[in-house]
């Protein structure tokens, strides 16, 4: 295919070119030939080549004017290459260094129409202050607000799971349905479970939300900046982010056991027929302590009944720590490919990965969903029309409301949650069957959700739909960005680590005092006093724990990352 452009150059004269320019007849003897001229002679008519300069190479006008440029010169889908117009040819030659870039109200770069379907390797924010890591104050405030709400829901779930299990569960640790505590619990607790628990304090829903939120927020700096150092920071810091709080929590729980802090817990467990209210196990040697700590960073299977998870109350709930730790490295590998993939294959590839990991039942299903939401929200959200509609054909003549996919997912998730908890609780685990069993190649009949943490469709639909709608609604973002919610977010990890130990030790003591020494028989009154004492106390302890443990771990990880690069 012939080129539309031409390149001319003036080369210095050579002896051969000078001799040719004199035009000596071939039969002329060499000794009679005239001397060579010092300069190039004029070309003959048949040797002249006329070149019309292309307009794209024309000199820039002398008068100032605003120019719109392409941010890089790579080929992009959507920019025609056959029979291009003059405007397209000119756009292909525009410089990356033009200063007239457009940013939206969030501070993110707005892609030009020709860039939408191509590579997105340039930074979407000029602010480089986050490249080595974000402080808590520099995180996205509305996502921190969501984390704060989830943290408080986990706190409420922990309280009810220990002292009124029928409010939040219908199966005990052994997975038997119906649980023994349902028979002795008052009817109002079962009503609360069926009405409020599916959305407010289900336990599994909050865990799923945390995993998806981790995928949405943990690599936000890379999504914004497209710099390798942001991925290096996430990969290096993650172990130090978790190891100090986990090590100290294991030691602290053992100290509480050593001073007999759980002495009333067996009586509480027996009175409520609640297996989860039993005291946590005690590690017996330094080797068992080390292996238990190693479990939270290296296990390929997330067993709720694993020995390490029984050392921290409530038993079997911290399986989420290895999920969050390991999924960071899954995200890093795939996030690195996002800027170097065009829009069509980026969407197709990520959606196929989400569906595949969902079918095989891996938590990458959740985290990749969060990563895809982060890419869409940061890079492509500002391209939606003012009416917030998504075009469904290339011409853009047909579109659907942008909220429709999120609303459908949220609605389906809510329906399934109420179906499995309120309508058909005995069949709730049948959803787990709709995955592949890697050992047999058939459907997943062998997995016991009571023993193994397993991702569920209902939790994914509800959490993904809610986050999707949140990304589209500035008003909802302002609600979740409220300062109290953002501040409470710093407690979330500490609540998961230490609130169960505090509630089971202090709560069993208060329960024994009220029921045995004072002779209280009203379960609602006892529960009210326990709630008034334990929830505020847990918030205070979570504040101290986050300051002394969590913040120190974050500071240590940041300092080490700077130190290894000096």
Determine, yes or no, domain membership for 483.
Answer: yes
CA dihedral 189, 195, 199, 202 (to 10 degrees): 30
E-assigned strand segments in 301-453: 389-391, 399-401
The count of other CB atoms within 10 Å of the CB of residue 289 is: 17
Structural domain boundaries, residue 292? 136-385+399-563
φ/ψ of 436, rounded to 5, equals -90, 145
Phi, psi of 70 (to 5 degrees): -85, 145
User: Does residue 26 fall inside a structural domain?
Assistant: no
> CA 458, CA 154: separation in Å to the nearest integer?
18
Task: Tell me the C-alpha distance between 133 and 230, whole Å.
Answer: 7
Q: Are 163 and 272 in contact (CB under 8 A)?
A: yes
Beta-carbon contacts of residue 557 (< 8 Å; ≥ 6 apart)? 133, 236, 237, 238, 240, 241
CA separation for the pair 108, 120 (Å, rounded): 13
Has residue 349 been placed in a domain?
yes
Within 10 Å of residue 110's Cβ, how many Cβ atoms? 13
Residues of the chain with pLDDT under 70: 1-99, 386-387
With vertex at residue 64, the alpha carbon angle to CA 63 and CA 68, rounded to the nearest 5 degrees, is: 130
Who contacts 106 (Cβ-Cβ below 8 Å, separation ≥6)? 382
The pLDDT tens digits of the residues spanning 60-86 come to 444 444 444 444 434 444 444 444 444
Other CB atoms closer than 10 Å to residue 509's CB: what's the count?
16
CA dihedral 490, 492, 498, 503 (to 10 degrees): 120
Query: Does some domain include residue 416?
Result: yes
Under 8 Å between Cβ of 480 and 470: yes
Strands (E) located in 420-495: none
Q: What is the pLDDT of residue 90?
A: 43
Q: Please report whether residue 205 resides in a domain.
A: yes
pLDDT at 383: 83
Dist CA 350 CA 70 (whole Å): 26
CB 112 within 8 A of CB 79: no
Query: What phi, psi does 179 have (nearest 5°)?
Result: -70, 155
Domains in the chain, number? 1
Residue 13, domain member (yes or no): no
In a domain, 410, yes or no: yes
Evaluate whether residue 69 is within a structural domain.
Answer: no
DSSP 303: B
137 φ, ψ to 5°?
Answer: -70, -20
pLDDT of the residue at 397: 78
């Amino acid at each position: 295919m012939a080129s539309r452009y031409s390149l001319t150059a003036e080369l210095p004269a050579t002896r051969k070119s000078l001799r040719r320019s004199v035009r000596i007849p071939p039969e002329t003897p060499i000794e009679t030939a005239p001397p060579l001229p010092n300069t190039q002679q004029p070309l003959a008519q048949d040797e002249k080549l006329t070149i019309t300069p292309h307009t794209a190479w024309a000199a820039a006008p002398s008068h100032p004017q605003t120019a719109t440029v392409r941010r890089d010169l790579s080929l992009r889908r959507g920019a025609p290459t056959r029979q291009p117009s003059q405007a397209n040819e000119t756009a292909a030659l525009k410089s990356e260094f033009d200063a007239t870039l457009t940013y939206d109200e969030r501070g993110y770069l707005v892609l030009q129409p020709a860039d939408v379907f191509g590579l997105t390797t340039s930074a979407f924010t000029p602010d480089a202050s986050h490249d080595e890591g974000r402080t808590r104050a520099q995180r996205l405030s509305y996502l921190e607000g969501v984390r704060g709400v989830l943290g408080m829901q986990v706190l409420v779930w922990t309280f009810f799971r220990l002292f009124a299990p029928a409010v939040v569960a219908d199966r005990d640790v052994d997975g038997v349905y119906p649980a023994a505590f349902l028979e002795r619990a008052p009817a109002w607790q079962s009503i609360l479970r069926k009405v409020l628990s599916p959305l407010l304090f289900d336990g599994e829903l909050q865990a799923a939300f945390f995993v998806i939120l981790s995928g949405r927020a943990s690599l936000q700096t890379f999504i914004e900046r497209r710099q390798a150092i942001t991925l290096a920071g996430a990969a290096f810091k993650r172990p130090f982010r978790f190891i100090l709080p986990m090590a100290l929590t294991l030691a602290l729980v053992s100290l509480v056991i050593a001073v007999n802090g759980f002495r009333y817990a067996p009586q509480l467990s027996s009175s409520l027929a609640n297996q989860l209210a039993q005291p946590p196990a005690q590690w017996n040697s330094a080797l068992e302590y080390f292996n238990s700590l190693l479990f939270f960073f290296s296990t390929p299977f997330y067993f709720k009944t694993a020995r390490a998870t029984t050392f921290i109350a409530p038993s079997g709930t911290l399986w989420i720590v290895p999920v969050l730790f390991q999924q960071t490295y899954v995200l890093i590998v795939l996030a690195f490919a996002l800027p170097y993939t065009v829009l069509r294959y980026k969407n197709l590839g990520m959606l196929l990965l989400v569906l595949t990991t969902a079918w095989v039942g891996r938590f990458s299903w959740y985290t990749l969903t969060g990563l895809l939401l982060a890419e869409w929200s940061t890079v492509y959200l500002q391209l939606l029309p003012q009416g917030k509609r998504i075009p469904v054909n290339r011409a853009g003549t047909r579109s659907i409301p942008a909220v429709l996919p999120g609303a459908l997912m949220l609605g389906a998730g809510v329906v399934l949650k109420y179906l499995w908890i309120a309508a058909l609780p005995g069949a709730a685990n049948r959803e787990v069957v709709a995955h592949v069993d890697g050992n047999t190649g058939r459907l997943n009949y062998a997995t016991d959700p009571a023993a193994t943490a397993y991702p569920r469709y209902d939790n994914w639909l509800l959490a993904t739909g809610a986050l999707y709608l949140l990304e589209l609604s500035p008003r909802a973002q302002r609600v979740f960005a409220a300062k109290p919610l953002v501040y409470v977010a710093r407690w979330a990890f500490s609540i998961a680590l230490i609130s169960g130990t505090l509630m089971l030790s202090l709560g069993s003591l208060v329960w024994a005092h009220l029921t045995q020494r004072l002779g209280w028989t009203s379960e609602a009154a006892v529960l009210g006093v326990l709630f008034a004492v334990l929830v505020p106390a847990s918030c205070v302890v979570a504040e101290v724990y986050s300051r002394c443990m969590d913040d120190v771990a974050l500071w240590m990880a940041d300092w080490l990352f700077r130190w290894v690069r000096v």
